[in-house]
Structure 1
Amino acid sequence: MESFYKPKKTPPQNIVIRLDNRQIHAYKQPGTHFHLARQFYQNVFPNFTVINVEKPPCFLRKFSPDGKHFIAFSADQTSLEVYTYRGPSAAADLLQNSEDRNNESNRFEVKSKIFERFFHLKFRVNVAKGAEQLNRECSLFSEDGRYVIIGSASFIPDEIRPHFYEIYTNNESVTPNIQSPLEDYTLHLVDLHLGKLCDTRQFKVDKIFLSHNQGLYLYRDTLAVLSVQHQIIHIFQILDGMFVDIKKIGRFCFEDDCYFYNSVYPSERAFRETCINSLKHRLLVFLYKRADAISRSTENPTELRKFYHYFDNFNSLKMWKMQLLDEYLLLIKYASEDLVTLKSTDVNSQPQFFVVFNMKTSEILAVYENISKQLLYLFENFSDLFRNASINNGTRFTASPL
């Protein structure tokens, strides 16, 4: 009887055989030469390490996608420092006598000079103004590696308390607390080739999670920014070194909705509105139609009764996180206000919903609860679509969103 399990064929690991195969066979299918090259470097291991290297007084961040630049934040967190990477052979002469472990002077020289050999300071761009400080864990590169988006924030002093209608701009605005204080935010677009600040966008009296780019997402040239305080998703396009305003999703879903609404209710404060905002209304309608369809197909009204029973809970959900799946699809995470404002840290005890929203047609395409098996299946089998990806010559290289 033939065995059901077929062991996976392991390619040869010998570096000589791999070199021979790479030279003779090249690649079998178009677009796979990147992957073959990466597999080859699995056999290349470093045989020398330099630790405790002296560096300039700054916070080192990361390389640009093309590997030509390295960015860092100044010690006072007000400037962006752009370094040029000189290549792996830049310190060859410095390391030629490094195997002599007894030569203390040579070891000291290597540690003190090796950083400046590999990295040359190209630009120092002053971006943060006043009391603002750059967030060291916030940086997004454009697809071509020319521009980088960084964010800064400044605390709002207690003696300068914002106006009530600056805090509550619509009826979905959350209530701030000590765990989630309001701040003034600024996004900066920096040109790495010219070393200049190209454009900025300010968000006053707001709450945006800049750390690990949680409140920002860049897909190709489309940038999405989630305002947790005002429950609005700002959509921008990066065009010729500028932030181009595309739309705001939350209270309204289309660009001209605000114009038509104000023509009917010109003087009404948004915070005092009794109606449900556009995005939340679409979510509730989707949940109702799904419950109604299940009740009709099963001839059992239980699902529809559940919707009515939990209606207030659905209506009180707030946007917590989001990301772009492509140019038009948004994946939005909804949770209770206590979780969104960090008043509660017990994440698993409260329900959360993942909503797939089409920005172009303003439709809710799917809603999944955080315990959904279908969502788990999608994430396990299509995890690359849930991560940042750089697209070069039709080949997708995925990376962690953090």
Structure 2
Amino acid sequence: MFTKNSQNLQHHLWARESNWRFGHHPVAQPAHYYKRNFYKSITPRLTIQNVDKPLAFLRKFTPDGSMLLAFAFGQRALEVYQYQGVGRVAHLLSSQKSECITAADHSLDSLHIRQQLFNALFKKKYTIQLINASWSTRHVLDREFSIFLENGRYVLLVSVAGGAILPSYQAYQEYPDLFDDANLYDYTFHLVDLHKGCISDTLRMEHDFIVLSHNHSVSVYGRTIAILSIYRQCIELLELDMEGKLQRLYTVGPYGSNLDRDQILAHQQMTTSTLDHTHSVPLSHFKQKILAFIYNWALEASTECERKEKIKFFYKNFGLVERMLIMKMQLIDSEHILMRYEKRQSQMPLEMLEGTVDSVTKNFKLYVFYNITEQKVLTIFGQNSVNMLLMLRNFCDEFRNVRSLYSWHASSPSNNVYFRESFDNDLKSFPGGIREAAARANPTLPISAQNFSAIPYLDYSLFNYDHRFISALERPRLIGMEPIRFRDRITNILKFRVHLEHSSDTWQEYGMGTNPRDLVTFIFHPYEPFFISIQKFISRYVLNFHIYNTNTKVEP
């Protein structure tokens, strides 16, 4: 008879077959309850450092894990590799019993594994030329941007080239919130059909500024795509149609929609007003809605004293709100947007001239929930709002736009009791109390699209690990001096280690000391016991594979 905390693979198979849950009577359980426990026995326990790689920049796996995307070395083409599965290289790794094949191991067997491993795991399927030779040589693909659509059939990529040096005079007339401190570029969005291996559609946005790193200014919900122009302070709404084409819906910013703009211009033409489309409106649509909401909020105060204080706050911060900029946004669903407004940065802020610089205005932020169809501001939260913090804690999964084919969400305070405990402990560690904790945690919203990997090995219910060095958030991480240890959450048994090459090992070859700013990024397969770590040393990238191997034994 096996015990409740058994780590035996055979016991997990018996439990799934008999529908048995340890310590309980046999009852129907969700399919993933048994699937998740298998990952405790099948772990990526073998690390192969410094694997030979193609001349390309690896990006990420598709949501179904069948393909790996990479950018060609010239950053003008997309390379698609078919993933063969961990079982394809079992014979190649059968003699390896240690946990790590280090970069310093120059034995013939180790060299053979490094040379053959990538080609055995991946077969090139497509090379899709996205930037033609006739284009300007300045056009390059952004390596940190990619968004999957339609269950991973399409991927949205973007190429960038230098645009105009200065804003045009017409832009100042059309956009009242124009952010003229931004450098302007030309952007071309490429919608790639991964099933056919071709470009399905393109979209050009010239003389603009869009933050692309980690999908910062682009959000997706279903077939709806929202693109935030930091320069024009507008949100472009697009839709992916059934034929794989990008259809522009409308622009939200200076006006509520394109229809509103046409109606306003038509009304002006019918009157004796001399205004035309080249005259700017005093306030953008968003700013007018926000200021009206704050004023109505002040009028609805329960007491006369409170009403006076809120109206005083409104007039005091009117100019500050008027100059604020949308710095980030995300689609909550196809009809609702969350926007984060921040104070405009300039060489000579107005607060310096007025002598009113304080901690409130310095870090002033507003979080605005907006309904697109009704053109209505639903609610506004401040930068240290406790209610906003509670929304992040209790409804975190609603903000995370997870790639659709993952079988479960990445661990968060709203779906995992262990993660919630860690989250609460972090909040309690701030000396300023809950308000300071809110001011620190709230800026994580809005959340960038498809930036979390919901892989089983980062599930807080299964494993315990140091989230400072590895986490579900797809961001570069610092390299620790010790291997990253993954322990069983219940028994605290060491399950596997992630071995990374230390900076000193490489820098000493060049006669230099250690580099404290070495970073590593991870590319996780969505469900197989395999992931890739990419380290940068001086001027070269190092590729490490972390993979399941039957013969590898993990020493305590």
TM category, shorter: 0.7 to 0.9
Q: Secondary structure at the match of 1:81?
A: strand
Report the CA distance shift for 1:155/1:306 in structure 2 as closer, same or farther (over 3 A). Answer: same
1:25 counterpart = 2:27: no
1:353 counterpart = 2:366: yes
Q: How does 1:3-402 map to 2 (within 5 A)?
A: 12-15=5-8, 16-25=10-19, 28=27, 32-98=30-96, 104-128=107-131, 129-130=135-136, 131-156=138-163, 163-166=168-171, 169-176=174-181, 180-239=182-241, 240-265=243-268, 268=275, 272-294=279-301, 296=303, 300-338=307-345, 349-391=362-404, 397-398=409-410, 399=452, 402=474
Deviation at 1:301, TM superposition (A): 1.4
Deviation at 1:284, TM superposition (A): 1.1
Q: Whole-Å Cα distance in 2 between the matches of residues 364 and 401 of structure 1?
A: 30
How does the TM-score come out when normalised to structure 1?
0.86
Q: Secondary structure at the match of 1:301?
A: helix
Report the CA distance shift for 1:49/1:74 in structure 2 as closer, same or farther (over 3 A). Answer: same
Q: Secondary structure at the match of 1:141?
A: strand
Q: Decide whether the 8 Å contact of 1:356 with 1:366 is kept in 2.
A: yes
Q: Secondary structure at the match of 1:251?
A: coil
Give CA-to-partner distance per residue, 1:204-235, whole Å, 9 cap, x none. Answer: 11110001000111112111100000010011
Q: Structure 1 counterpart of 2:388, which letter?
A: L
Deviation at 1:156, TM superposition (A): 2.7
Give CA-to-partner distance per residue, 1:170-207, whole Å, 9 cap, x none. Answer: 1111122xxx4111111110011111011111111111
Report the CA distance shift for 1:302/1:350 in structure 2 as closer, same or farther (over 3 A). Answer: same
Q: Structure 1 counterpart of 2:63, which letter?
A: P
Report the CA distance shift for 1:146/1:201 in structure 2 as closer, same or farther (over 3 A). Answer: same
Q: Secondary structure at the match of 2:345?
A: helix
Q: Whole-Å Cα distance in 1 between the matches of residues 145 and 121 of structure 2?
A: 24
Q: Secondary structure at the match of 1:21?
A: helix
1:343 maps to which residue?
A: none
Q: Whole-Å Cα distance in 2 between the matches of residues 291 and 197 of structure 1?
A: 52
Report the CA distance shift for 1:39/1:217 in structure 2 as closer, same or farther (over 3 A). Answer: farther
Give CA-to-partner distance per residue, 1:291-323, whole Å, 9 cap, x none. Answer: 111255766411112112211111111111001
Q: Secondary structure at the match of 1:327?
A: coil
Deviation at 1:59, TM superposition (A): 0.3
Q: Secondary structure at the match of 2:176?
A: coil
Deviation at 1:13, TM superposition (A): 4.3
Identity %: 28
Q: Decide whether the 8 Å contact of 2:238 with 2:249 is kept in 1.
A: yes
Q: Whole-Å Cα distance in 1 between the matches of residues 172 and 204 of structure 2?
A: 15
Q: Decide whether the 8 Å contact of 1:330 with 1:359 is kept in 2.
A: yes
How does the TM-score come out when normalised to structure 2?
0.63
Report the CA distance shift for 1:304/1:167 in structure 2 as closer, same or farther (over 3 A). Answer: closer
Q: Secondary structure at the match of 1:291?
A: helix
Deviation at 1:104, TM superposition (A): 2.6
Identify unmatched segments of 5+ residues in structure 1: 1-9, 340-345
Give CA-to-partner distance per residue, 1:91-138, whole Å, 9 cap, x none. Answer: 223223445999932322211111011111111111134221111010
Q: Secondary structure at the match of 1:38?
A: helix
Q: Whole-Å Cα distance in 2 between the matches of residues 295 and 349 of structure 1?
A: 30
Q: Structure 2 counterpart of 1:20, which letter?
A: W
Report the CA distance shift for 1:166/1:306 in structure 2 as closer, same or farther (over 3 A). Answer: closer
Moved more, 365-374 or 384-393: 384-393
Q: Decide whether the 8 Å contact of 2:328 with 2:341 is kept in 1.
A: yes
Deviation at 1:40, TM superposition (A): 2.7
Q: Whole-Å Cα distance in 2 between the matches of residues 65 and 167 of structure 1?
A: 42
Report the CA distance shift for 1:347/1:205 in structure 2 as closer, same or farther (over 3 A). Answer: farther
Q: Decide whether the 8 Å contact of 1:390 with 1:397 is kept in 2.
A: no
Q: Whole-Å Cα distance in 1 between the matches of residues 307 and 155 of structure 2?
A: 54
Q: Secondary structure at the match of 2:310?
A: helix
Q: Secondary structure at the match of 2:301?
A: helix
Q: Whole-Å Cα distance in 2 between the matches of residues 26 and 310 of structure 1?
A: 61
Q: Structure 2 counterpart of 1:139, which letter?
A: S
CA-atom RMSD in angstroms: 2.8
Report the CA distance shift for 1:273/1:167 in structure 2 as closer, same or farther (over 3 A). Answer: closer
1:4 maps to which residue?
A: none
Identify unmatched segments of 5+ residues in structure 2: 22-26, 347-358, 411-451, 453-471, 475-556
